[in-house]
Amino acid sequence: MQADYVIVGSGSAGAALGYRLSEAGASVIVIEFGGTDIGPFIQMPAALSYPMNMRRYDWGFMSEPEPHLNGRRMVVPRGKVIGGSSSINGMVYVRGHGRDFDHWADQGAQGWAYADVLPYFKRMEHWHGPQASSWRGTDGPLHVRRAPQEHPLHHAFVEAGRQAGYPEIADYNGEQQEGFGAFDMTVWQGRRWSTANAYLRPALRRPNCRLVHGLARRVVIEDGRAVGVEIGRGGRTEVIRAGREVILAASSINTPKLLMLSGIGPAAHLAEHGVEVIVDRPGVGQNLQDHLEVYVQFAAAKPITLYRYWNLAGKALIGAQWLVTKTGLGASNQFESAAFIRSDAGVEYPDIQFHFLPIAVRYDGKTAAEGHGFQAHVGPMRSASRGAVTLASADPEEAPKIAFNYMSHDEDWRDWRKALRLTREVFAQPALAEHVKHEIQPGAAAQSDAALDDFVREHAESAYHPCGTARMGRADDPGAVVDPECRVIGVEGLRVADSSIFPRITNGNTNAPSIMVGEKAADHILGRDPLPRDNRAPWVHPDWAGAQR
């Protein structure tokens, strides 16, 4: 059991790494604890609410009680399956704003500015949009398609945004993110196009790439160098040896846990759990970030929403059509209209995201009691709040402690009030006003700052974008865990390549930038020159300092 490279995790970044490293001729072993992704719950896009709520596919993590959200424990779904979280997510494809990556570079992640990462986004994509674009890739492994927006409410949402004074955009993953338009989704030929389908299966067809199922217990470090990974499987413990390097791509929850179990992390915390300290890196597990969101829901004045299919017969019809033809409502995640706006003048680029859905329903599949309705998932993008992932014990089978510390800054509350009021303004425009019967939640009575705060406190939920727990930065930065080539500072032969390394959370859903990290890290690991920079700048509102829209 030995390979040149041993990768822990077959998810968004891990699968991309396995593909690129094996493509280069290196031998690769990918370790994955979860099982198969075969079956309609994962492969049918419209069934997305099922796998993230099934213990078979999800690690089942819960946060610690959140002190600023009425002590609620938040669910933290992470994929425990081939393809990782790309096999249980909402399939929404958002690169992030160019300024996100410029900020990374400013924080010490040299070589990760927008000009550096744009070529990797293009390399990984196979774009199936309505028109060709020099901003998009055309022959990568990851099929990305534009949402069809066939339901009239999707167009009404975009038109309402235009009526409110925001731009309508052709491609938020191209030059201009700011505005209202159609979502991109990782769906291809009616199926979820996870990294298992895009990267891992093609890699495993090569003789030099193999998949091993087991629970990664720790990285084996000898004389300051990572030489393998200890795994548990079938009631036995064994070591998979790495001839060149070990790469952790186990998620922003499990990667810091593995680092700490391996003796890399805050020394006092490790000693507290009886873990021998090999490298004192205080940043391991710190800097945890996420996006919060609420569902702003409205009862529909016309019975045209997807609620008409929210019954056994309707679901059976959609499922049967999908099973036979891979078409119809089953072939969409239903998140087909998007918006990215700025909360105020003086905000340089969008800091609020909307997902519009033509039904009032939760991620856990519970519909609004009112029947026909629709909703926008809305939330600020760049909270100042930071949390941490820490060990609960030295037992590798025990889940770590996850504390997001959501809403711990006054500006978080100010940002949320703005987001909710701007949302109501959009839904009051003529294009949507004719469809609105009344507001379900927060509800028309919730107008004051205190009432909106109470609504957020009770109803805000994770958007499932945890990241940042092994932050990338300069090698002399005491809070950094990896350097700009993804090498763990203080250990030879060990890298991290997943959303853990994000210095700051990106704008929007985090799956696309996580895959990009795997793509770019592969070139660093192989010692290749990075792809040539693309120095085009992203669109920024010409009067961003003086105007909100």
- Count other C-beta atoms under 10 Å from residue 443's C-beta: 12
Helices 98-106 & 114-124, crossing angle to 10 degrees? 130
335 three-class SS: coil
**Would the annotation count 92 as a binding residue?**
yes
How far apart are the C-alpha atoms of 48 and 111, rounded to whole Å? 35
Q: Is the dihedral of CA 317, 323, 324, 326 positive or negative?
A: positive
Instruction: Compute the distance between CA of residue 231 and CA of residue 216 in angstroms, rounded to an integer.
Output: 4
Beta strand pairing status for 279-280 and 292-300?
unpaired
Collect all residues with Cβ–Cβ distance below 8 Å to 252 and sequence separation of at least 6: 288, 389, 466, 467, 468, 469, 470, 498, 499, 500, 502
Nearest Cα to Cα of residue 396 among 258, 240, 220, 212: 258
- Report d(CA 143, CA 45) in Å as an integer: 14
Euclidean distance between CA atoms 496 and 547, whole angstroms: 40
Contact status, residue 388 vs residue 404, Cβ threshold 8 Å: no
Q: Is 208 annotated as a binding residue?
A: no
C-alpha 73/C-alpha 75 separation (Å) is 7
The Cα 270–Cα 260 span in angstroms is 7
Q: Going by DSSP bridges, is the β-strand pair 184-185/142-146 parallel, antiparallel, or unpaired? A: antiparallel
Spatial separation of the C-alpha atoms in residues 191 and 185, rounded to whole Å: 11
Which H or E run includes 525? helix 511-526
Longest dimension (CA), the chain: 69
CB atoms within 10 A of CB 515: 33
Residue 126 a catalytic site member: no
Contact 303, 439 (CB under 8 A): no
Only one residue has tokens 């120095």, namely 535
Is the C-alpha dihedral spanning 530, 531, 534, 540 positive or negative?
Answer: negative
Residue 54 annotated as lining a ligand binding site: no
> For residue 138, what are the contacts with CB-CB under 8 A and spacing of at least 6?
125, 126, 127, 132
Cβ-in-10-Å burial (0-12, 13-18, 19+) of 179 comes to: buried
Q: In whole angstroms, what is the distance from residue 247 CA to residue 249 CA?
A: 6
- Map tokens 């379900």 to a residue: 440
Is 90 among the annotated ligand-binding positions? Answer: yes
Q: Cα–Cα distance between 59 and 398 in angstroms, integer?
A: 11
CA proximity to 340, closest of 85, 51, 100, 151: 100
What values do phi and psi take at 154, rounded to 5? -65, -45
| Catalytic annotation, pick one of 438, 465, 524, 541 | 465
Amino acid at 396: P
Catalytic machinery residues: 465
Q: Residue ranges for the binding site for FAD?
A: 81, 89-92
Q: Residue ranges for the binding site?
A: 81, 89-92
